[in-house]
Copies of this chain bind each other. A is one copy, B any other.
Amino acid sequence: MIGHVLCFGEVLLRFATPAARLTVQCDALDMVVGGAEANVGAGLASLGHGVRMLTRLPSSTLGDKARAVLGAAGVDTLHIGRTAGRMGLYFLESGAGLRPSSITYDRAGSVFANSAPDDFNFASALEGARLLHLSGITPALGPGGVALARAAVAAANAAGVPICFDGNYRALLWDAWDSDPRSILTDLMQSATVMIGNHRDISLLLGKPFSGDASDRRREAALAAFEAFPKLQLIASTARHVVNAGHHRIAARIDTRDAAHQTAEVDVTGIVDRIGTGDAFAAGVLHKWLQGADTVSTAQAGLAYTVLKHTQPGDMCLIGPAELEAFSASGGDVRR
């Protein structure tokens, strides 16, 4: 495989209540495969890019399922290690209207979380890669996760492969151990060329607030990040306003060192599945970045892909490039 994107991170199984049911009302739960980095990989593969997943899965039927779903999405799974242990799980109680969905994690002690850097052959997986994608979830898993993220970043640096880092700040995970997220994440960001994250993420990294009105605040934060992280070339973020579980409003923004573009806000109604929409945004952005596109079309693609993800069940966006190009924020009738 040549010219691929390498995604490194944990793959999870999601068990979700169907049709807005409470868990107590269900005799079956929908089973879906996800994980922030895998979702980005599946999106990029669906958009036609070569994608390889680097992770470890249990040698169980659940691990088989996770591998199969990645293979179905067109992701290269030959570098996925298998070993005895448990699968990281999460349970989703689907909301509706003014009842938000809620997630219960059961991911501690998973095969991935218990892995050491030596369990992965980063060099081999990175051979020929155009990009390494990883996220802030891996270091949040604990000291072992920090070691994994650092090893991945070091290997990419050694191989001269640029890095996309998605902040994905999960307070629950960082708070579960004696962590210093700011110093860990700031260190990892030194190697990042692309950052997925907004002014609040930057504020957390740099330890200072950004004031002013919405748009000024965002540019100010972006410029501070470009100053702090010398390799950084592109920052991609969304602004989301939640009306109810079935109706959000979203705008997308791209900042480079020289330019910035923020799209108009789109009304996202009839939401089918909100999970993974941030990862779809990252995939839409990277899809254009890998093609060398400008900030406007990159922001538009990120927006379109995240909006489209809301219309499709599952953690992974499996929508193809034709649908992405045909996207219109003013709707459209049945296509025949």
Distance of A313 Cα from B326 Cα, bound (Å): 26
Q: Is A199 in contact with chain B by the CB < 8 A criterion?
A: no
What distance in Å separates the Cβ of A94 from its nearest Cβ neighbour in chain B? 10
Question: Which of A184-192, A266-274, A284-292 contacts the other chain?
Answer: A266-274
The answer on a CB contact under 8 Å between A68 and B72 is: yes
Which residues from chain B contact A95 at a C-beta distance below 8 Å? 311, 334
Q: Is A329 in contact with chain B by the CB < 8 A criterion?
A: yes
Q: Is A226 in contact with chain B by the CB < 8 A criterion?
A: no
Q: A29-B31, A64-B320, A331-B244 are in contact. Are A310 and B97 (CB under 8 A)?
A: yes
What distance in Å separates the Cβ of A19 from its nearest Cβ neighbour in chain B? 7
Which residues from chain B contact A21 at a C-beta distance below 8 Å? 312-313
Distance of A244 Cα from B331 Cα, bound (Å): 4
Which residues from chain B contact A310 at a C-beta distance below 8 Å? 97
Q: Is A182 in contact with chain B by the CB < 8 A criterion?
A: no
Q: Is A109 in contact with chain B by the CB < 8 A criterion?
A: yes
Q: A22-B319, A97-B272 are in contact. Are A105 and B336 (CB under 8 A)?
A: yes
Distance of A266 Cα from B99 Cα, bound (Å): 13
The answer on a CB contact under 8 Å between B65 and A24 is: yes
Which residues from chain B contact A25 at a C-beta distance below 8 Å? 27, 312-314, 318
Residues of A90-106 at the interface with B, using a CB-CB cut-off of 8 Å, are: 91, 93, 95-106
Which residues from chain B contact A71 at a C-beta distance below 8 Å? 71-74
The answer on a CB contact under 8 Å between B312 and A243 is: no
The answer on a CB contact under 8 Å between B242 and A331 is: yes
What distance in Å separates the Cβ of A242 from its nearest Cβ neighbour in chain B? 5
Q: Is A155 in contact with chain B by the CB < 8 A criterion?
A: no
Q: Is A212 in contact with chain B by the CB < 8 A criterion?
A: no
Distance of A87 Cα from B23 Cα, bound (Å): 14
Candidate in A18, A71, A91 with the most chain B CB atoms within 10 angstroms: A71
Q: Is A28 in contact with chain B by the CB < 8 A criterion?
A: yes
Q: In the A-B complex, list the 8 residue pairs whose CB atoms are closest, starting with the nearest.
A: A23-B61, A72-B72, A97-B270, A246-B270, A99-B311, A96-B311, A102-B335, A71-B71
